[in-house]
Amino acid sequence: MKEASPGFCEADIERACNPGSFQKGLTLMKQGAVKLTGGSAGAEAQVASERGHGHYAVRLGRCGVSVNAKCSCVDARTRGGLCKHAAAVALVFLQHSQDLPQMPLVSNGASSKRPRPPATPRLESPEPEEVKEPVPLKKPCFPKATPRAPSGYMARGFFLRQLQSSAMAGDHEAFANDLERMDELGEKEASALLHKAVQGQDLAGSERIIQLLLDRPDGQRVAMTGAFDELRRTPLHAAVAANRLGICRSLLQARADVAMKNGNGMTSLDLAQRRKVDTSKGDWRQHEDPVLVLLREAMKRRTT
Ligand SMILES: [Zn+2]
């Protein structure tokens, strides 16, 4: 067993399995059939079919130590409990000391229309193989309140990578979901996320992601200190360059310094002014560049 505790153990997986699936899952795991695919909830995987018929999609979560799963195979739908694919994925997570998100499992099949079976009492017997009746899926509980930080170095890296890709996409919902699971971000981590979000593909999503980051002390600190990206720009410089007015405003509200210089010795106001010159064709006389107006006002407030 690894030193980092993922919050569940092998016996918990075995207990949640339907008869026989634990051993088969162990085999699948050893064959390398599991491919983690991430997903917004952080615990999705594909398991290669033993007969080479493509993949099964598996989603994992846990409630306390009880491991829950959804798999696209027939076995999972008809028997309940963890099928061999889910068992294999859970074992891979355990192998990497990677925790499972605390979450109710949303059914993705037709079964979501049916009322859920009542929770089965925890079996006292340590030999679930002896149970001949299919074990219904455990009733999902609805966690909240205490989002847990992922335990272990690997899990942290995993969530950080997910956060970075949702920041780049401007996927606010996925970002919010994963950010809740992170304890304090390091300066480099927060800076990387902030810079990626400034450039995020979806503008509305990016603005919300920036706000989420700025609402945290770690994110706000980075906005204030103006941590450079690889182009030696502060987040505010990057937002000006990307012409993102809303993000400039949020950064200034979070006390980003308009007078801070980038690696070329230019302030973000200089940058906005130069940008103005660059784009001064057309009707710029009638319409003031709103980014420039915003930064000028910020500079004025700073010097008075
Ligand atoms: Zn399955």
| 273 Cα: distance to centroid of ligand 1 (angstroms) | 59
| 21 Cα: distance to centroid of ligand 1 (angstroms) | 9
CA distances from 142 to 93, 102, 118, 207 (A): 22, 9, 14, 29
The token duo for 217 is: 């002390």
| 34 Cα: distance to centroid of ligand 1 (angstroms) | 12
| 75 Cα: distance to centroid of ligand 1 (angstroms) | 6
Based on the domain organization, do 224 and 92 belong to the same domain?
no
Provide mean pLDDT across the span 95-109. 68
| 4 Cα: distance to centroid of ligand 1 (angstroms) | 28
pLDDT in tens, 197-254: 999 999 999 999 999 999 999 999 999 999 999 899 999 999 999 999 999 999 999 9
Residue 144 domain flag: no
| 183 Cα: distance to centroid of ligand 1 (angstroms) | 33
| 144 Cα: distance to centroid of ligand 1 (angstroms) | 28
Range of the domain at 262: 153-303
Secondary structure class of 156 (helix, strand, coil): helix
The conformational region for residue 232 under phi > 0 = left, psi -120 to 50 = alpha, else beta, is left
Provide mean pLDDT across the span 119-145. 51
Instruction: Say yes or no to pLDDT of 57 above 60.
Output: yes
| 102 Cα: distance to centroid of ligand 1 (angstroms) | 20
Beta-strand ranges (E) seen in 216-301 are none
Residue 167 domain flag: yes
Domain ends where: 63, 96, 130? 130
pLDDT band (50, 70, 90) for residue 4 = low
Q: Which pLDDT belongs to residue 14? A: 92
- For the chain, the average pLDDT equals 81
pLDDT band (50, 70, 90) for residue 255 = very high
| Per-position DSSP letters for 166-208, written without gaps between them | HHHHT-HHHHHHHHTT--PPPHHHHHHHHHHHHT-SSHHHHHH
Q: Which pLDDT belongs to residue 130? A: 45
Based on the domain organization, do 188 and 297 belong to the same domain?
yes
Based on the domain organization, do 93 and 183 belong to the same domain?
no
Based on the domain organization, do 174 and 250 belong to the same domain?
yes
Based on the domain organization, do 85 and 157 belong to the same domain?
no
| 154 Cα: distance to centroid of ligand 1 (angstroms) | 25
| 17 Cα: distance to centroid of ligand 1 (angstroms) | 11
| 52 Cα: distance to centroid of ligand 1 (angstroms) | 14
Residue 142 domain flag: no
| 125 Cα: distance to centroid of ligand 1 (angstroms) | 24
| 76 Cα: distance to centroid of ligand 1 (angstroms) | 5
| 143 Cα: distance to centroid of ligand 1 (angstroms) | 25
Q: Which pLDDT belongs to residue 276? A: 60
| 32 Cα: distance to centroid of ligand 1 (angstroms) | 15
| 12 Cα: distance to centroid of ligand 1 (angstroms) | 18
Q: How many domains are contained in the chain? A: 2
The conformational region for residue 150 under phi > 0 = left, psi -120 to 50 = alpha, else beta, is beta
| 87 Cα: distance to centroid of ligand 1 (angstroms) | 8
Based on the domain organization, do 97 and 177 belong to the same domain?
no
Contact status, residue 201 vs residue 168, Cβ threshold 8 Å: yes
| 294 Cα: distance to centroid of ligand 1 (angstroms) | 55
Based on the domain organization, do 246 and 182 belong to the same domain?
yes
pLDDT band (50, 70, 90) for residue 1 = very low
Based on the domain organization, do 281 and 221 belong to the same domain?
yes
| 74 Cα: distance to centroid of ligand 1 (angstroms) | 7
pLDDT in tens, 76-96: 888 878 999 999 999 998 888
Based on the domain organization, do 71 and 186 belong to the same domain?
no
pTM listed for this prediction: 0.51
Q: Which pLDDT belongs to residue 73? A: 87
Based on the domain organization, do 189 and 257 belong to the same domain?
yes
Rounded CA separation 225/74 (Å): 54
Q: Which pLDDT belongs to residue 112? A: 38
Provide mean pLDDT across the span 57-63. 88
Based on the domain organization, do 60 and 185 belong to the same domain?
no
Based on the domain organization, do 163 and 291 belong to the same domain?
yes
Domain containing residue 203: CATH number: 1.25.40.20
pLDDT band (50, 70, 90) for residue 40 = low
Instruction: Say yes or no to pLDDT of 163 above 60.
Output: yes
Domain ends where: 130, 163, 185? 130
| 46 Cα: distance to centroid of ligand 1 (angstroms) | 10
| 64 Cα: distance to centroid of ligand 1 (angstroms) | 22
Residue 289 domain flag: yes
